[in-house]
Homo-oligomer: A and B are copies of this chain.
């Protein structure tokens, strides 16, 4: 089970409304996702060395309550679905046990030339790992 990721809001991430600008949560999701992959042994460097990347093809964010400078947001990452062609990741962001936002990112798999590949065929080990982590969370 992966540890949650923490992001402390920077001053420059706030806007003139005095709160964290909503675009930054998409960046926090990326930070938490890369940390999660690192934790399960598939960090960015390993992925890159295997010529594999998983670009974002869709995102969805539901904002529940604002945060501001110095807030330490706890981000839980959970694998929602993995197939040969795509990966769906869920995120729950919390501050003092209250939900800040929930989000989903959907990814495809491409090789070093940017061509879509089947994860099952190009990296069966990672596919099985993601699949087992997905199932174990049900």
Interface of A is mostly: mixed
Is A59's beta carbon under 8 Å from chain B? yes
> CA separation between A39 and B81, bound complex, in Å?
42
Which chain B residues lie closer than 8 Å to A10 at the CB level? 27, 30-31
> CA separation between A69 and B19, bound complex, in Å?
15
Interface residues on A, range: 20 to 34
Is A1's beta carbon under 8 Å from chain B? no
In the complex, the answer to whether B14 meets A15 with C-beta atoms within 8 Å is yes
> CA separation between A59 and B60, bound complex, in Å?
6
Partner of A62, one of B44, B57, B69: B57
Is A120's beta carbon under 8 Å from chain B? no
